A = this chain, B = another copy of it.
Amino acid sequence: MEVFRAVADALQFSAEKMKKNGLFATDRFFCDVYAFEPGQSQGGHRHAGSDKIYFVLQGTGDFQVDAERRTLGAGSVVFCGAGSEHAVSNPGPERLALLVFMAPPPR
């Protein structure tokens, strides 16, 4: 596995749906870059045994974690604890890119 990566080199968008671009993955965690065109989303879901972090790299995201909702821009960090229901959507007009960590990776 490459030790040094650049988000800009990994970041790819898809016109069809939000795109997950992998940076690093081990048995202990994964680190991805998620890319959302305006209007794209990741619907509400849960990971029973894994914690997740979203870090906003660019654009604006509408985030839901259980009953809490927030619209956040670059530099914001969202914690989705194991078992929480979480969702993200891009209200636009900019593209949205998130650095995502999950530990452990889903089995």
Name the residue of chain B whose CB is nearest to the CB of A58. Answer: B75
Contacts A/B (CB < 8 Å), 29 sampled: A1-B81, A3-B78, A3-B79, A4-B65, A5-B77, A5-B79, A6-B76, A6-B77, A7-B76, A7-B77, A8-B75, A23-B77, A24-B51, A24-B79, A28-B50, A28-B103, A29-B29, A29-B51, A29-B53, A29-B103, A31-B77, A31-B79, A31-B101, A53-B101, A55-B55, A57-B75, A77-B99, A99-B99, A103-B104
Binding site for B on A (CB under 8 A): 1-8, 23-24, 26, 28-29, 31, 50-51, 53, 55, 57, 63, 65, 68, 70, 72, 75-82, 99, 101, 103-104
